[in-house]
Amino acid sequence: MESNNVFTTNPKKKSKHLAVISLAIMGVGFVATMPFGDSIWGRLLQGGFEAGLVGGLADWFAVTALFRHPLGIPIPHTALLPKNRQRITRGLVSTLENDWLSKESIQEKVKRIAFTQRLLPIVRKGVHSETIQQKGTALLVDAINRVDTEKVVPIIEKELKSSLSAIELKPIVHSIVGEVVKNQYDEKALDVLLNKGESWIKKEETQYQLGSIAKNALDNIELDGILQFALKSFQSMINEEKLGSILQNLLLSITGRLRNEEDEYRLALVNGIRKELQGLEQNEELLEKLEAWKQKTINELNVTNKLTEIVDKMKAKVIAFIESPEFMKSYAVPYVESWLNALEEDVQRQEAIDTAIQKQIMSFVDENHSKIGQLVQENLDKLDDETLVDMMENNVGKDLQWIRVNGALCGFLIGIVLTVIKLAV
């Protein structure tokens, strides 16, 4: 590295040295040709070197006067850049804002960019990158971990209760009745009741209970005249045991008939039950009571702890699934590829995405365009005169030094021409 620096010459210094060398050649040539002023060639060369020296000095003065006072002498209209710094800066910023980087030119350029077509290959390539996949997994896991269960659960609970409250009971009652009739649950329920009733009726203690109830009922009946006498006569002939036996046999006979699917009483009873069931959905009083019960139950329902447990378990399961190797390979990457393929074939969606991106960029440019000039102005204001002059001289100095070289060469040629004209005249 050091050897390279030794033998490498800065092009800017080389051009500056070339300008000095050209000026020195003209000066040396002018002095060297003075003794040969009597000959034609001597006069021609002397005229050329003289004009070249004048041209080189004039151009040196002009170039130097842009940046500083020549030889440190405060000659009027020299050191133009430091003296006119503010005006030059304002002009530069104005040109940058209004001409080179005007809002219209930037927006016109943005309109021509097909963002989707440029981004699709980048995204397609990136989706298969292991680094991108790892970062994507980490991003998803972080997003799920950031879900605040304490804030989410009340929202879920509120939506759950709102959804339950919005459920209409009339269609549910209609559906339940329809299922009951369709699957003959009413008849099955009747058979269960009959079986339970028959089992109770057959018990020995049931006979005594029935007899006791019947005896008490007969004792409390009050009739007029002969009917009361007949009732008293009947009571004297029968006891509780006989009454119980009669009622027991009667009830067993009734349950036996009702268990027969072809019995007319059973069919009438089932039809009556079904008619009552089918009328439930039109029973407004019942529906109002059910609705009140529903709302009360929902309002008293406390599922916060259970929902918190469910949400935490779901978060853990989702994170475990995302961190599993098959998530990216079998789900995420194929999904993204499918989406990219569909987007690649859908020109309208591409145009819509491009338009959305362009609008955002143009809106940003419109809001922040003035900051371009402010940024340039702030950066230029940070530089002192010496630094700014040195920066500009280093960036455009090469071309300016060639002005001095060209001035010396042109002066030399013009001097020869003028000498030839003088000799001719």
pLDDT at 400: 63
What's the rounded mean pLDDT across residues 354-377?
80
pLDDT digits (tens, 9 = 90+) for 250-279: 888 888 888 888 889 888 988 998 888 888
Instruction: Give the number of C-alpha atoms closer than 13 A to the C-alpha of residue 305, restricted to the C-beta side.
Output: 2
- Rounded Cα gap, residues 50 and 57, in angstroms: 11
Is the pLDDT score of 213 beyond 90?
A: no
Is the pLDDT score of 204 beyond 70?
A: yes
pLDDT at 8: 40
pLDDT digits (tens, 9 = 90+) for 21-30: 776 777 787 7
pLDDT digits (tens, 9 = 90+) for 113-125: 888 888 888 988 8
What's the rounded mean pLDDT across residues 349-353?
90
Is the pLDDT score of 13 beyond 60?
A: no
pLDDT digits (tens, 9 = 90+) for 54-90: 777 776 777 666 666 666 667 666 665 666 667 767 7
Burial readout 338-370 (b: 16 or more C-beta within 10 A, e: otherwise) = eebeebeeeeeebeebbeeebeebbeebeeeee
Q: Where are the domains of the chain?
A: 10-83+383-424, 170-292
- Residue with the larger pLDDT of the pair 337 and 102: 337
